[in-house]
Structure 1
Amino acid sequence: MKTFLACLLVLAISVTLSNASCFVEELKRESDKEVPGCTDFEGKFHEFGSQWETKNCMDCSCSRQGIGCCTSYATPINFDEEKCEAIFNKLTCSYKVVEKDDHTKECPVFEWVG
């Protein structure tokens, strides 16, 4: 029973620490007729149940409710901002935190969100 409660506590804490940037855009219907999928922000069509990654590092999916997207990366929020800076790599969809004066030296990050 103690193990179960400990697992439950860890789960509750991890859910509250999760802070992904997500949104849902409702499906737009031009008429009363049934639509077979979603049209994304670039005008591309996606069938219901499909998933894709955007060029802006968002993981998206199409459902009958609309398009749901979340960032596919974590953002550093707790590091020495006077000495270090966060640099985003759009090719790998990830941040690297490095010293401002020497980008070859990484800085410790104590908290990430996303």
Structure 2
Amino acid sequence: MKVLLSIIIICFSLALCNGMCSIDPNVTPAGCTDAYDGKTHPFGSTWNTAECMECGCHPNEMRCCARYGGIGHVEGCTGVLDLQTCEYRYYKQDDPSKPCDDMP
């Protein structure tokens, strides 16, 4: 019973770690076509997209994972993804021109 519980916990942890990834099985003999910019990348290559994703091309799939993470919701604040730094910036809900002071 302890082994089964351990396996469930490990599987749940792995699901959380890869929660911001997507897999596209549609690869061509020439490589992987990036859905974000339309460019074809050779097998074995990795690249960053303008949408803050890190993608890798493999013979059977293209995998893209978010380069950002952290807290997605802060009480009284609205999170906005900064595409220049790939980090969230938080602004007050009642005045979006003011950043939330209590955020790192």
Q: TM-score, normalised on structure 2?
A: 0.67
Work out the number of aligned pairs and report it: 93
Specify which of 31, 38, 61 is matched with residue 32 of structure 2.
Answer: 38
Q: State whether structure 2 residue 80 is matched by structure 1 residue 53.
A: no
Is this contact kept in 1: 2:89–2:99, CA < 8 A?
no
Larger radius of gyration: 1
Is this contact kept in 2: 1:39–1:46, CA < 8 A?
yes
Any stretches of 5+ residues in structure 2 without a counterpart? 1-9
Q: Alpha-carbon deviation of 1:45?
A: 1.5
Residues 51-105 of structure 1: per-residue CA shift (max 9 Å, x gap): 001111111000001210011111523421xx22212211111102233336244
Q: RMSD of aligned C-alpha atoms?
A: 2.9
Q: Alpha-carbon deviation of 1:16?
A: 6.5
Q: Give the fraction of aligned pairs with identical amino acids, expressed as a percent.
A: 31
Residues 1-114 of structure 1 aligned to structure 2 (within 5 Å): 15=14, 18=17, 20-29=19-28, 35-41=29-35, 42-80=37-75, 83-100=76-93, 101=95, 103-108=98-103
Q: TM-score, normalised on structure 1?
A: 0.62
CA distance in 1, matches of 2:71, 2:26: 33
Q: Alpha-carbon deviation of 1:19?
A: 5.5
SS in structure 2 at match of 1:76:
coil
Is this contact kept in 1: 2:27–2:62, CA < 8 A?
no
SS in structure 1 at match of 2:51:
coil
